[in-house]
Structures are given as C-alpha cells and as structure tokens.
Amino acid sequence: MKKADPNPKANRNILKLVYVIVALFLGLIAYMAYFLQVRGEDVINNSYNARLDSFADRIIRGKILASDGTVLAETQIDGDGNETRVYPYGSVFDHAVGYSTKGKTGIESLANFFLLTSHVNLMEQALNQMSGEKNLGDNVYTTLDPQLQQAAWDALGDRRGAVIAMEPDTGKILAMVSKPGYDPNTIAADWETLTSEENDQGQLLNRVTQGMYPPGSTFKIVTALEYMRERPEDYKNFQFDCSGLYVNGDYQIRCYHGNAHGHQDFTLAFANSCNGAFASLGLDLDLGRFAKTAQDVLFNSPLPLSGLPYKQSSFAMKPGAGTWEILQTSMGQGVTQVTPLHNALITAAIANGGTLMRPYLLDRVENVGGEEIRKFLPTAHGNLMTAEEAANLTELMRAVVTEGTGSAVRTDAYTVAAKTGSAEFETGKETHAWFTGFAPAESPKIVVTVVVEEAGSGGREAAPIARQLFDLYMSR
C-alpha cells in the first residue's frame, strides 16, 4: 500500500521555487541574447566606456577607410613613438568619420571596439608582447563613397545645411555632409573656440542626424499618403482652384511667393507644391489616422540607426486640433520637426517599395593582413507603407520633376522622383530649402536628401546640389 506524502505543502513550495529559478534562468538567457544581438555593440562602443580606451595601451588604433580603400583616418607614429591620429581629407568627412581626441564621435565612436581590437596572428602578438611593442588594430571599411562625399561637400559650399546619400535597397550610407564643420586634425587646438558659449555656429553638430527643421513641403509626402489611405478609390478626383491665397475664415495660407497655380488636381497640387490645396484637404482628414500615419513613417519614434546620436522627429497634431494648426501642419509647417536623416529614410522606403532598410556606415572589418574579420550585411527594419502606396507616391514624385518644382533635376539621361520644400521657421528670415528624391525612378539605386538653411526655394537651391550627386552616381 502506497504511503501518503507526509508534507505535500512543503513539496509544492519547493516545486514553486524550482519554477521561479528556472524562469529567472531562462529570463537571464533571453536578456543576454538580446544584449548580444541588439544592445551589446552600442554599450561596448559607448564613449563613456572607459575600459575600452585602456586597449590603446597595447594596440595601435586601426585605420578607417572608404568603400574603395581610401584612407579616411589613420594613426601615424613619429621617431619617438608618439602617436597622432591623422585625417587626410580634413573637414570633408568630419561628421561622418568623427574624431577621437576629445572624446569620440562619428565612425571613430561607432567602430571604436573594432579599431582597438587586433587580429594579427598569435605568434606576432606574442612577440610584440614580449618586446613591449603594440599590436596593430583592425581596419574598418565604411560604406562611404569618397567621390560622392567630396561632391556633396563641394556642392554645399559655404552654406549651412546637410546632405545625405544612401542606397534604398541596402541602407548603405554613401555620403554624409554637415556644414559648418571642423577640421578633425586640429580638434584639440580648436576645442575651446568650438565649444565657446559665444560660438553660435554649431560646427560640432551633425545636422544630418541631429539637425531639427520644419519639413516644409517635403511633409506633403506624408499628407498625401494619409489622403490616399482615407480615399483609396477617389483621391485622384481631388480638385482645387489656386489663386495664390487660400482663405478659411480668419486664416490665410499663401503659396510660395504668392504663386497662383490655377486649377489643380491631386497630382498637380503635389507637383506644384500648392500650399492652399494641401491646407484645404488637411481639413477633411481624420486627425487620429493622420497621427497614426505619421507614426508609421517614424515620427515620434526611434529611428533604426545604431551607434550614432540622432534626434527623433516630432509630429504634435492630435484629434481636436484647431483650424490653424491643421492648415499649417498639413503643408509641413506648424511645430512639426524632422531631421535630414529621417526625410531620407522616408524617401528610401518609398524607393524600396515601402520597405525601409536599416541605414549603416560600416561595411566590414579586416585585420592588417587583409583577412576579413566581420562583414556587415543589409537588414530590413520593416514596412513603412504598402508596395502600392509606395508606387503611388513615386508617381506623384515623378510629376514633381516632370511638371513641377523639381525641374532642376530633370534630365534625359535618367529619371528622378522627388519632392522639394521651402520651410518657414522664423518671421523675417528666408526659408530653409529642402530636396529629397531618388534615381532612377523606375529602379532606384540612390536617395539624396538636402537641406540648405535660409536659402529660399528648395527647387532652386537644394535640388541643384542633389543633381550633382545624381549626375556623378548615374554616370558610372
């Protein structure tokens, strides 16, 4: 006869404890997996990670190279053994490559772990250690195209602003320019001036990732997307008569320089960037759905950019907003703010059939012998819109070039889909000039986004900069 358990309650408590321990163990494993796959590299490369810099005592910092092998940063050693970090292109790659003297920024920060890791053969490492010599760090190849970078830097000239070029189907960042900038070779000597309270130039700010601007008419991409979502069957039936001034009660909306566009359908209103048309259709939108669409394209959300500091773009309009806020927001004004990076990502998603690829700057890591240590591959972030929506937006953006404000990028050599913008930001000051687009329109290979501060018309000032990059890339 089977005996009864003398203490069933104690056994149940022990079993519960075992379950808790197992759950904690599994949770720890899950967190470690998450950390290694998602957060580990960011923590390791964090500029506040003091332990990592201790590697510099036994490793000579590796080189940073462009996609074609052009040296963008290297450590040179004089006869006395003094190390100097040298940037052959000076300020041309300043914000993209960064610096490593006064803290670390850009790729110098992003790739810090790899640059201070050595994969020379074990025999050489042992001999160096015995002789007190440092090992050579690994070299990092970037996605940056030196010709496109130089072209963007030259085209922006002495003006303040930003340019970013990327591949929509991979996420590779090909060029990243922010002005005004600095010379990383003299960052230590210039530090006091660059960080002075009297300095209002913002040379250390990477305007591509951290510059917050009103999007102006480039935001009409988002407004158009929402309008198409709410009226999938009849959005093309939209009609508007533009006199150059749209009046709604006590409120007035002017088209750029008071241009009267005349009779506009939906495509022409987008192509001509008609403020009155988009302000009026904004009043018919469901503001809750509008906010959701803005969130779908990553407003008020983290961007899929790892390792570089950036600002989140903001969209503040909510259900119950007043007429003036709706009119302003629908045409890209009001308090909406966006970075050039974010504008480029929205454009890249359209070019890639609705799917956004994660932007990245590091292509591969090699040891000094040329052996590949790590390869970075394209990864998808997710769908910002459907393929049909992306195709419809591409059609609208083609009309901007063929019939509207983007004529500066019109050419028989290739096709471009784009949106221009002129963003008001302060009374009495000239507008910021915007351009964002991709080429070729039917099979996109490159996205270019440009903002030129206080320059006026996007079609006149920003589009020609993009044209130079398109011409260079498409001529290859």
Name the domain count of the chain: 1
**In this structure, what CATH number is given to the domain that contains residue 237?**
3.40.710.10
The residues, any chain, with a CB within 8 Å of residue 170's CB and separated by 6 or more, are: 357, 378
Angle of the 387-403 helix axis to the 340-351 helix axis, nearest 10 = 110
Instruction: Please state which of the ranges 49-53, 80-84, 103-107, 149-153 shows the lowest mean pLDDT.
Output: 49-53
Q: For residue 309, tell me if it sits in a domain.
A: yes
- Percentage of the chain with pLDDT > 90? 80
Region of poorest pLDDT, from 85-89, 114-118, 282-286: 114-118
Length of the chain: 476
Mean pLDDT along residues 51-75: 88
Asked if the structure places residue 297 within a domain, the reply is: yes
Q: Does residue 255 sit within a domain?
A: yes
- The residue-averaged pLDDT of 131-139 equals 85
Q: What was the pLDDT predicted at 9?
A: 65
Asked, for residue 258, whether it belongs to a domain, the answer is yes
Digit-coded pLDDT (tens) for 65-97: 999 999 999 999 998 889 999 999 999 999 999
| Pairwise pLDDT comparison (148 vs 15), residue with the higher score | 148
Q: Is 189 left (phi over 0), alpha (psi -120 to 50) or beta?
A: alpha
Q: Is residue 344 part of a domain?
A: yes
The span from the CA of 366 to the CA of 140, in Å, is: 6
Supply the pLDDT for residue 253: 95
Residue 47 pLDDT > 70: no
Q: What is the pTM of this model?
A: 0.89
How would residue 125 be classed by pLDDT, with cut points 50, 70 and 90? low
Average of per-residue pLDDT across 327-353: 97
Q: Which of 51-55, 147-151, 381-385 has the lowest mean pLDDT?
A: 51-55
Q: Which of 131-145, 341-355, 378-392 has the lowest mean pLDDT?
A: 131-145
Predicted confidence (pLDDT) at residue 129 exceeds the cutoff of 80: no
For the cut 60, the answer to whether the pLDDT of residue 190 exceeds it is: yes
Cα gap 34→31, rounded to integer Å:
5
The answer on pLDDT for 53 being more than 70 is no
Q: Residue 177: which residues within 8 A CB-CB, separation 6 or more?
A: 95, 96, 149, 152, 153, 156, 162, 163, 164, 208
Question: pLDDT, tens digit, for every residue of 221-230?
Answer: 999 999 999 9
- Tokens standing for residue 34: 């998450």
Q: Is residue 80 part of a domain?
A: no
User: Which structural domain range is residue 334 located in?
Assistant: 216-362+380-475
Q: Using pLDDT thresholds of 50, 70 and 90, give the confidence band for residue 21.
A: confident
In a domain, residue 249? The reply is: yes
Q: Is the pLDDT of residue 7 over 70?
A: no
Does residue 41 sit within a domain? no
Higher pLDDT, 25 or 265: 265
